[in-house]
Chain A
Amino acid sequence: MSLLTTNYLTPTGREEAWRFTPLKRLAGLHDLSSQVSDHISLTGKNSLPTGVTLAIANAADHPPAYASNDLITNRIREKIKKVLVLSIAKDVELTEPIILNRSCTDSAELSRVVILAGVNSKSTVIIENVGGGVVGEEIEISLASGASLSFVSLQEWDRTAVHLAQHHAVVGKDAHFTSYVVSVGGSVVRINPTVEFTGAGAFADLYGIYFATDGQHLEHRIHINHGVANAKSRVNYKGALAGDDARTVWIGDVYIHKVAEGTDTYELNRNLLLTDGARADSVPNLEIETGEIVGAGHASTTGRFDDEQLFYLQSRGIPADIARRLVIRGFFAEIISKLKNESLEERLMARIDDELAKVEQ
């Protein structure tokens, strides 16, 4: 155990990047007060197929592939000595997902994970976050040219957990990165899924679902950097909120540089407020330096439960509680069905039902 020694300025809450985040509830991860362990709590859950390796390596051997402006990420980089490296060799095509499980104790942990998807590889990586715990996490994901990677991060934490993360993907030529961020557990979850492209034909699909109930703070800050020509991005995040002080934040920053001609991007965030007392912030931002693009757009909606849908279903004999469940499952189904993994889809729907059951009590 050691004390954080970085002297980065501690956020006050007035900074743009921190103005939505409840700093008092971060268990000291953002300032110098957190005792952090060197323990790496992320481990492989299933046996690894041929062509895939998972190893703990010296941090110095895996220097960051990008400069992060995220305070937590920089603290992690300065602090940690070891990184967890998951490599998928080139041309490997996996039919079953690689599952990593993070099962935390209550001590704080800083963690840097590197995922390398080789040339023309095809894989799915699932990270399950369960238990209590205080985690600062950086996951750096590199997709070599032609690689296809589905990355699933499940935040199924206990209600005490604090999880601050950056998931940064570097997407190469003709590579396809698909990210699913699912946040239902935790006290405070703040995830920054960020993407940069390094070659034409690169494509990033970012999906997210979150469901905040009483007192939870679930924040997702997306940043997509279109710095090369002819890359494509899609973002679709959906959230539901219920109960006193349930809070969600969605930030969607898309930056199209002057060189990024032929960019095609669209981002969408929809929030469903199920009760009074919940608050959803949704802030899409689009900055465009060139007009020579295929398309760029965003949409953000935050609305209440549609009583007309409820009336329609009830008028067909369906009781109100079942009708509400149908509508909310339907709201998330659009994204969950994109997973194309039946057991995972069922598991997530079951989690949505669990959250709904809390609301109905």
Chain B
Amino acid sequence: MSVLEIKNLQVSVVIESGNKEILRGVDLTIKSGETHAIMGPNGSGKSTLAYSIAGHPKYLITGGSVTLDGVDVLEMSVDERAKAGLFLAMQYPVEIPGVSVSNFLRTAVTAIRGEAPKVRTWVGEVKAAMSSLEIDTAFSERNVNEGFSGGEKKRHEILQMELLKPKIAILDETDSGLDIDALRVVSEGVNRIKESTDLGVMLITHYTRILKYIKPDFVHVFANGKIVEEGGSELADKLEEKGYAEYITA
């Protein structure tokens, strides 16, 4: 049982004219097996929350705390956070020319598990994970994210999640840019990983569409850098109907 605990998190980005405050005191607790949907309008700070937890250097933590099973996450380097069990599926995964998917996956898994995977079982493990995400095995020889379609990038993110087996995963707009088939495949992948590993999920999304596939236990409405309303999945239905207008003007 793992717990990611975010308390009164305040985050700024450094811009030319000084620091700009983005997160204004976020409180959120995610436990193993739970799925929390973070919903909100564009520019409300959802992605900042995701990247701050993962440790992107662009963001300056000005207050509050983030702990994973009681251990201070904010003190960790980016790779240490991943080793501790955090995973961020990115909205815009970057291309890494000249680095093959197979080399990348193997290097990452070696780093996370602390030892190189056994050659005998590794190939089969990757193949099985790729097959369940309907990824062609030829994919292994391509360079990381280079020339990938939107759907391929997102499948590749979930493939990594499956192999790295995190405790808590943050999915940042994983549904964006996906057609209906890719959305189903990716969502089924997330659900399968949740079932087999008791993964805790923070699902960041603008739309309710993905919530038909990945059922949230909790829905948090994010606006102006903090959580402004919380509830169960019925809150998502309300957002579907009424949109974010009332939170923006509030």
Q: Which residues of A contact B (CB under 8 A)?
A: 306-309, 311-320, 322-323, 326-327, 329-334
Give the A-B pair count, Cβ closer than 8 A: 80
- How many Å from the CB of B105 to the closest CB on chain A? 9
Q: Judging by beta carbons under 8 Å apart, are B77 and A314 in contact?
A: yes
- For A323, list chain B residues within 8 Å (CB): 79
Identify which of residues 84-119 in chain B touch chain A, using a CB-to-CB cut-off of 8 Å.
87-88, 90, 93-94, 96-99, 103-104, 107-108, 111-112
- How many Å from the CB of B170 to the closest CB on chain A? 10
A319 to B90, CA, bound (A): 19
* Given contacts A312-B90, A316-B164, A327 and B111 within 8 Å (CB-CB): no
- For A306, list chain B residues within 8 Å (CB): 94
Q: Judging by beta carbons under 8 Å apart, are A316 and B112 in contact?
A: yes
* Chain B CB within 10 Å, residue with most, of A306, A316, A320, A333: A316
Q: Judging by beta carbons under 8 Å apart, are A309 and B78 in contact?
A: no
* Given contacts A318-B107, A326-B107, A311 and B56 within 8 Å (CB-CB): yes
- For B107, list chain A residues within 8 Å (CB): 313, 318, 322, 326
Cross-interface CB contact of B98 among A307, A313, A315, A331, cutoff 8 Å: A331
Q: Does B55 contact A (CB under 8 A)?
A: yes
Number of interface residues of B (CB under 8 A): 28
Cross-interface CB contact of B104 among A308, A311, A314, A326, cutoff 8 Å: A326
**5 cross-chain CB contacts under 8 A:** A313-B107, A314-B78, A315-B79, A315-B87, A330-B99
- For B88, list chain A residues within 8 Å (CB): 315
Q: Does B205 contact A (CB under 8 A)?
A: no
Q: B143 — nearest CB in chain A belongs to which residue?
A: A330
Q: Does B226 contact A (CB under 8 A)?
A: no
- How many Å from the CB of B129 to the closest CB on chain A? 15
Q: Does B83 contact A (CB under 8 A)?
A: yes
- How many Å from the CB of A156 to the closest CB on chain B? 22
Q: Judging by beta carbons under 8 Å apart, are B96 and A316 in contact?
A: no
Q: Does B177 contact A (CB under 8 A)?
A: no
* Chain B CB within 10 Å, residue with most, of A323, A330, A332: A330
Cross-interface CB contact of A317 among B79, B90, B94, B97, cutoff 8 Å: B79
Q: A314 — nearest CB in chain B belongs to which residue?
A: B78
* Given contacts A315-B88, A316-B111, A327 and B96 within 8 Å (CB-CB): yes
Nearest 3 A-B pairs (CB), nearest first?
Answer: A330-B98, A333-B98, A317-B82
- How many Å from the CB of A326 to the closest CB on chain B? 5
A309 to B94, CA, bound (A): 6
A332 to B97, CA, bound (A): 9
Q: Does B54 contact A (CB under 8 A)?
A: yes
A317 to B76, CA, bound (A): 12
Cross-interface CB contact of A318 among B54, B57, B79, B90, cutoff 8 Å: B79
- For B160, list chain A residues within 8 Å (CB): 316
Q: Judging by beta carbons under 8 Å apart, are B56 and A316 in contact?
A: no
A334 to B164, CA, bound (A): 27
